[in-house]
Structure 1
């Protein structure tokens, strides 16, 4: 989808929960709404300017019928139930009343992001003062339910993984801090480096994608929108590129379960990216990589097996060479002792020799049939093919290895 120009810097965006409609809050104080379709066409629906000061935040009611905006003019227009400001004050509002219900002043620097935990009715806030706080909106106390230790860095963005059990925090130095709700809010349990610049925005991916419960979208000040898998940590790829402009906000349409992700920075355009193309392509590449790994593993095993066979063939060749040499020497010796005897022998002697051979063969067969124990069979085989044993005390008798050189001991006398 082509970029949607708005003519001014965008501070926030929000998608309609059920329609192809997106709202943007601008530096000029305007709120602009755009419709879009699956083919990438878009159209401006309306423009409103509730304040002459910049619009810093937008929110929609659950059914999308009401749009609330907060801005630099310190006013809430058609109002949001919670808002934060540059002084670190968090205010809780009831749209039916003109005044804020409660104000929280435990942060002393700007409020960067909010996260709503519906199961506990807790509001999590991140601040530039380096702390994370949790507010129980059902309590009438003006103190937070919990507040973290100083993380020694500005906390800029919030998201959840693992069905809301872990909270991910983006920081100014590019670290993703992991908080485990079961371990409390005092300190993070893990820190994941890798981003070269600050992580200004975080967003969850739709739940129907693989590993969605451990994958988030990160918007960095280097202008790249990334897909990152956490625990185990893996960079899945770059989703969108804003060039040299930092990314300030990320949102997925259709209540976070849609096809399009919107990202905004300082380049005065709204960029919509098709998540379906990104994650389906990544899935196909992962399948190909797995097939290649399987083939490489099979090839590696094959190489090892081939190497083992070659070594085995070399040992067998050595044994066969020794046996042939012994047989040859025996034949030569027998020839020297019995030379001329063959010419004096008569046919009867040859018949007697053949008979002796037949008797030996019959006797061997009968013996095998009478006693068929495997132990004796292997013992006989070892007797026939037994190689000379190596005597560790007789080093001169040791067989030369492939990478060894046998030398006379006197060679070392002069060293």
Structure 2
């Protein structure tokens, strides 16, 4: 199954319980599609969400809304059914927003081009904490809900661990020789895997984040921009977004 978006996509997310996928484009547009294995995908929504590139998108509130972050520094929440804006936060960061993640039912986190991570209360529509976690863009984030720890990777080559209970940066790895672009928690929380710019996977043991315990090299000739956990296994997705159409393998 293939969806031709017409413009370069920066980000995408799947609905938690329905056959829906949303994508953010370099133009700032937000698209929503319904897909089935035996039919052509149907576009349900197309809005001009941001004045600059839509870099991050996630379904929130059990899929009732879509939240997006942009290089124009704004955050937008959009109603899934009507396509109407629920709320918009202008100048949410001092720098362009690069990444976004759901944390709890009422909180999300965003990361920007200068390494700042902000945690937002979606009910109060306000920032409840911020961390200067990195020296370069926050490429990816993942959340350990049992310990309330937010893990992030960055273009500066580090992995950071932010403790949301103590509101402190608990740990940070040594600088890697390459940019770290993606992160996933594995082995029931015992291992953390990061994907890098040169196609190497870095393996960290939980609680020992200063240096990786192992490396997997030669797995990909391209950068590992995203990691997906599948029944405690992992696959890497190389998004050559400037060269290919957004392809959904269902």
Greater relative contact order (CA < 8 Å, ≥ 6 in sequence): 2
1:272 matched to which residue of 2? 248
- Counterparts of 1:88 and 1:18, CA distance in 2: 32
Aligned ranges 1:168-183 → 2 under 5 Å: 168-182=193-207
- Counterparts of 1:40 and 1:98, CA distance in 2: 39
Aligned to 1:63, the other structure's residue is in SS state helix
Note the alpha carbon deviations across 1:298-333, whole angstroms, 9 max, x for none: xxxxxxxxxxxxxxxxxxxxxxxxxxxxxxxxxxxx
Give unpaired runs (5+ residues) of structure 1: 208-212, 221-246, 249-264, 275-415
CA contact 1:8–1:268 (8 Å) conserved in 2: no
TM-score scaled by length of structure 1:
0.51
Shift of 1:45: 0.7
Aligned to 2:16, the other structure's residue is in SS state coil
Shift of 1:101: 1.9
Shift of 1:99: 3.6
2:46 matched to which residue of 1? 47
CA contact 1:10–1:268 (8 Å) conserved in 2: no
1:150 matched to which residue of 2? 175
Q: From 209, 220, 228, give the equivalent of 1:185.
A: 209
Q: From 187, 208, 219, give the equivalent of 1:162.
A: 187
Q: From 122, 127, 130, give the equivalent of 2:157.
A: 130
Aligned to 1:7, the other structure's residue is in SS state coil
Give unpaired runs (5+ residues) of structure 2: 78-86, 88-99, 101-107
Higher helix residue share: 1
Higher-Rg member (1/2): 1
Aligned residues: 221
Aligned ranges 1:200-279 → 2 under 5 Å: 200-205=225-230, 207=231, 213=232, 215-220=233-238, 247=239, 265-267=241-243, 269-274=245-250
Aligned to 1:68, the other structure's residue is in SS state strand
Aligned to 2:63, the other structure's residue is in SS state coil
- Counterparts of 1:171 and 1:50, CA distance in 2: 30
- Counterparts of 1:171 and 1:51, CA distance in 2: 29
Shift of 1:98: 4.2
Question: What is the root-mean-square deviation in Å for CA atoms of aligned residues?
Answer: 1.7
2:142 matched to which residue of 1? 115
2:55 matched to which residue of 1? 56
Aligned ranges 1:344-363 → 2 under 5 Å: none
TM-score scaled by length of structure 2:
0.83
